[in-house]
Amino acid sequence: MARPVWSGALSLGLVTVPVELYPAVADHTIHFHQFERGTSDRIRNRRVNERTGDEVTQDEIVKGYDLGGGDHVLVEPDELDEIAPERSRRIDIEQFVELDEIDPWFFDRTYWLKPAKEDFAKAYGLLLKAMDRSEKAGVAKFVLRGKEYLCAVRAGEDVMVLNTLHFVADLRKPKDVMGGLPDLPKPRPKELDMALSLVDEMTAPWKPEDYRDEYSGRVEELIKAKKAGKEIAHEEEPEPSADVVDLFEALSRSVKNRKGGGGKKKPDLGELSKADLDKLAREQGVKGRSKMTRAQLEKALKAS
């Protein structure tokens, strides 16, 4: 079992629940060491003085802020420690917001929050149920590894979810990154209608389990093959896409291909259980689903 990366208390008004924070995402990236080609000699990174070439120990290193023109302001590690955010052990919810009001642009990392002790399961369960019924997220700030984070606390499946959020100052506007955007011509009505038809044909319930990291799988196959002394057959490069001359015709053919069997079949709501309907309603963001009967869920899903 994973160890918590943070422990403290979740506070809502006068209600305080000791909690533990666990990473909800695992890194499955395949990592490599570096070697000099033709040898078994490892390549390692070392901290060296660029003028003398001598290696420098960690306790001899200070930080420097570049002022430009070769000038720097040097800052000692203990000076940074003195102004670092307090090592607060609280997640104080300051307000609640509608979850769909938070643009995905703001979301960073995902964690699970669980009660630190069984004694606090009742208070934890009450807050979890209230968040689930309200379909709102609590906005708070907390300190993790000496850094202050903005976060959203919300109900997940039988557990609280904490998402760290980017501060507004961290986000970059498209025009600041890419410069001016090209003038976008207004689409012709029939082209827009056909594009919307294509979107409708390609719409299906979100099933994350259908998607895999195919590149990592190919890297694993490469490693196994090389270990066994075999060669890997390389896939051919895909044919370059043809230039689109008639946008409407291209969209029309795309819609026809989807209707011909290329798309995913939409589920028959009448054949689904209430639990399945509830899950589908959650995936599609149907409001107030927790209070709906089976018939009401089916009606809401048909209307969504």
Query: Could you tell me the domains of the chain?
Result: 6-27+84-168 (2.40.290.10), 189-232+246-262 (no CATH), 269-303 (no CATH)
Residue 240 confidence (pLDDT):
60
User: How far apart, in Å, are the Cα atoms of 271 and each of 60, 275, 299?
Assistant: 69, 12, 14
Torsional sign, CA 39, 41, 42, 47: negative
- Per-residue pLDDT at 263: 47
**3-class DSSP assignment, residue 72:** strand
pLDDT, residue 53, reads: 92
Q: Which residue has the tokens 């703001």?
A: 106
Per-residue tens of pLDDT for the chain, all 304 residues: 778 999 999 998 888 999 999 999 888 889 999 999 999 999 999 999 999 999 999 999 999 999 999 899 999 988 887 877 765 688 999 999 998 899 999 999 999 999 998 889 999 999 999 999 999 999 999 988 878 999 999 999 899 999 999 999 999 988 888 877 788 888 888 989 988 988 888 888 888 888 888 888 888 888 888 888 887 766 566 556 555 557 778 878 877 877 765 545 566 787 777 777 877 887 777 877 777 888 888 888 887 7
Give the pLDDT confidence score for residue 243 in this predicted structure. Answer: 57
Question: In this predicted structure, what is the pLDDT of residue 297?
Answer: 85
- Residue type (1 letter), 25: V
The whole-number pLDDT of residue 296 equals: 85
pTM higher than 0.85, yes or no? no
Count Cβ atoms below 10 Å from residue 127 Cβ, excluding itself: 20
